[in-house]
Amino acid sequence: MKILMINCSPVRNGATAEIIQTAHSFLKKTHEIRSICIDDYDVHFCKGCRSCHRTAVCVQKDDVTKIIAEFEWADSIVCVSPSYWADIPGQFKAFIDRCTPWCNTHEPHASIRSGKKGYAIALRTGPGMRECNRIIESIEHFYGHMEILPSGSLGLCSVEYKEDVEGRKQEIEAFCAQIK
Ligand SMILES: Cc1cc2nc3c(=O)[nH]c(=O)nc-3n(C[C@H](O)[C@H](O)[C@H](O)COP(=O)(O)O)c2cc1C
């Protein structure tokens, strides 16, 4: 199976990247994996013009279609997002907004191949799971409108730096074992 892992943080070598690295090492034994970082792409803000509601295409030209091509490649997608001010980072939100051409609430809309599964991992420095759940909800809301089936989630509290991930390896691997 082909699995796409997305680092939804702008930090390419932080805690989010380390979680992806841990998951990648575990999953590569049985699956084909690609990992991308949201900040490696040029994604302009949605202008809210709603042209895509009529045309199913954005008026802007940037890297959004490159990211969607990675989605198209994958059978399963794993978004790994830190909490930034109790929410997903702005770079990831900008990408989600730009997925409006693919959003199933208007016709016509573009679509990616059906049958994909979506997984969410949220991390934060603070101790409470509520904030992780909020991030997971945002990711699963996005999956729903892209017609990607939300299929599992993991919240990791008390993580700030990549060094904090080592002690969570078992939790991450146990979660990855369910990814299909
Ligand atoms: C701008 C910013 C805002 C943050 N806001 C929160 C927050 O509201 N709650 C929290 O628990 N952690 C917060 N954090 C901590 C991050 O969730 C945590 O350090 C995470 O491990 C960062 O992963 P990264 O380095 O891969 O981006 C914030 C970090 C940054 C940089």
**CA-to-CA separations, 50 to 24, 55, 56, 57, 92, in angstroms, rounded:** 37, 9, 9, 10, 20
> Is the shortest distance between the CB of 51 and ligand 1 below 6 Å?
no
* Cα 120 to averaged position of ligand 1 atoms, centre (Å): 16
The dihedrals phi and psi of 51, each to the nearest 5 degrees, come to -55, -40
pLDDT in tens, 84-93: 999 999 999 9
Q: Is 124 in the pocket of ligand 1 (CB under 6 A)?
A: yes
For the chain, which domains are there? Answer: 2-176 (3.40.50.360)
Distance 16 CA to ligand 1 centre (A): 10
pTM higher than 0.85: yes
Asked whether the beta carbons of 39 and 16 are under 8 A apart, the reply is no
What are the pLDDT digits (tens) for 121-155?
A: 999 999 999 999 999 999 999 999 999 999 999 99
Q: Distance from the CA of 97 to the center of ligand 1, in angstroms? A: 21
